[in-house]
């Protein structure tokens, strides 16, 4: 079962930062937070992941709260091509590394 909750949908103006929240209040100490996105009728695309520290790559930044019960994915300058469903997933190393997807957040970037 998915261990995350996300808002169903969000809008963001093109060029502005998109901040997507995720709640994972039951996360355990060895569980990682992963973010993927899915553009319509395509396979999910990896964005970023983290354990405790904040992470940044060429696509996004991941901010994890100190208690690790929530995180925020930040797309610094949203473009129309960032319109997609964004999934926050908790990976459990001890049970085979399966991903259980929640409902995700449908992000619409508005011109």
Partner 1 sequence: GAVVSQHPSRVICKSGTSVKIECRSLDFQATTMFWYRQFPKKSLMLMATSNEGSKATYEQGVEKDKFLINHASLTLSTLTVTSAHPEDSSFYICSASSTSSYEQYFGPGTRLTVT
- Chain contacts with partner 1 (rule: CB under 8 A): 2, 32, 34, 36, 38, 41-46, 49, 87, 91, 93, 96-104
In DSSP notation, 54-111 reads: -EE-SS-EEEE-TTSSEEEEEESS--GGG-EEEEEEEE-GGGT--------EEEEEE-
Residue 44 Cβ vs partner 1, minimum distance, rounded to whole Å: 5
Closest contact distance (angstroms) between CB of 98 and partner 1 is: 6
CB nearer to partner 1: give 1 or 66: 1
Residue number with CB closer to partner 1 (16 or 46): 46
């Amino acid at each position: 079962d998915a261990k995350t909750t996300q808002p169903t949908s969000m809008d963001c103006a093109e060029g502005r930062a998109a901040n997507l929240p995720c709640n994972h209040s039951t996360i355990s100490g060895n569980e990682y937070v992963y973010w993927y996105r899915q553009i319509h009728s395509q396979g999910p695309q990896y964005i970023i992941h983290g354990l405790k520290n904040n992470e940044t790559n060429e696509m996004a930044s991941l901010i994890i709260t100190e208690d690790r019960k929530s995180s925020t994915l930040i797309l610094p300058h949203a473009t129309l091509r960032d319109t997609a469903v964004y999934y926050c997933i908790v990976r459990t190393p001890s049970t085979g590394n399966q991903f259980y997807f929640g409902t995700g957040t449908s992000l619409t970037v508005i011109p």
